[in-house]
Amino acid sequence: MRFPDYQGGGLVNLVAEVERRLTGAAPSPGLSRPIASTFPEAQSYVFVLFDGLGDVQLEHPNAKALLASRVGALDTSFSTQTTVNTSTLATGLPPSQHGLIAYQLRLDTSVLNTIYWYLDDGKACDVDPATFLPAPNLSERLAHAGLRVVATEPEAFLESPLDRMLYRGSTVVGVADAGVDAALDAVRTPGTLALVYVPHVDAAGHTAGQSSDLYADAVRHVSEIWSEIIARLPRGVAAVGTADHGHVDIADDHRIDLPQHDDLILYGDNRIVYVSGPPSAGADLARSLPATWVPVSQLEGIWGPEPYHPRFAERLPDGLLIADDGYALVPHGTVDTMVGHHGGVTEAELRIPLLVAS
């Protein structure tokens, strides 16, 4: 199992590189020199996050416009889930330092869904999402330097818990599609970082898989969004594109239901299940599954380096159940009907493209 790169070849380093180009400093290392040499200087940046568009997915015939702007590939943070990696984007920190180490996150004896902000008993979480990630975040650091962040997102997300967690200190614009006009208008003001969230590929991949017409249409659409952005870039502005994770398709008969274990807390996701409880129980469970058990003692560095978030240790599992390639593990009492999945550490899930245009 390969751990993500957090020292110069990861999403966190891309965020740091943008911050360094704008302010001269960042809390995380920037991109390694060979990758950084492909990165343009600019007065403002449009940062496009294509949800679910792994590097290998640029091989799709409808992704030619994206492939033409590709200058390399990076690692996403672990686990390869949206809230984990959008938190890395929002803070410029790895999960070990921002504290959101899993999409389904254990808080004491409960499990928090970090998108919808409810607990596994169905109750709303009383933790304020606006204060969940460390301060200052990326937007707050840029504001302190006299710069600004303008984020576009689907109108339905406005004032959602996820919106409040990620965009503290940003100007958020709700849009019907990708918000190209709003982003390009924003970056005409020097010292602006415009964040553009593009969800189409992830949604299509989950619903229908990468062989579907729905997915092909989504890839075509996001390619058109990128083409429009780079065709309309104002002078002195650069565009950067990447993803939060890739996707893998899982066949119906490879989505494996886990037995009930009252002595275990299961969280994380269905590609890699975080297990809290007696270590022997996790190892025993793996013997009957298409999965590998890895104790937490062998996982140092997978979430990133020190200094650790104050609650990092208490959120850690006792180990991980890592589903074999092509499999998903479905905890007892939940239902998984998705075709596309992510969360694991295969190259398809872990590697994300780096697109650059100016």
pLDDT, one tens digit per residue, over 303-322 is 999 999 999 999 999 999 99
Residues 225 and 317 in one domain: no
Residues 72 and 153 in one domain: yes
Amino acid at 317: P
- Per-residue pLDDT reduced to its tens digit, 141-199: 999 999 999 999 999 999 999 999 999 999 999 998 889 999 999 999 999 999 999 99
| Cβ atoms of residues 196 and 168 within 8 Å | no
In a domain, 4, yes or no: no
- The percent of the chain in helix, strand and coil, each rounded to the nearest 5, is 35, 25, 40
Phi first, then psi: give them for residue 346, nearest 5 degrees.
-70, 160
Residue 311 tokens read as 């609650």
Do residues 171 and 91 both lie within one domain?
A: yes
Number of domain units in the chain: 2
Q: Write down the pLDDT at residue 187.
A: 98
Dihedral sign for Cα atoms in the order 294, 112, 115, 99: negative
Query: pLDDT digits over 237-249, tens only?
Result: 999 999 999 999 9
Nearest to 223 by CA among 61, 5, 11: 61
Read off the pLDDT band of 334 (50, 70, 90): confident
Q: Is the pTM of this model over 0.85?
A: yes
> What pLDDT does residue 122 have?
85
Instruction: Specify if 244 maps to a domain.
Output: yes
Q: Which domain holds residue 232?
A: 11-249+345-357
Residue 3, in any domain of the structure: no
Q: What is the full DSSP assignment across 188-213?
A: TSSSEEEEEEE-HHHHHHHHH-TTSH
Specify whether 242 is located in the same domain as 267: no
Q: Which of 288, 286, 285, 315 is nearest to 299 (CA)?
A: 315
For residues 285-305, give the mean pLDDT.
97
Task: Indicate if 44 and 188 belong to the same structural domain.
Answer: yes
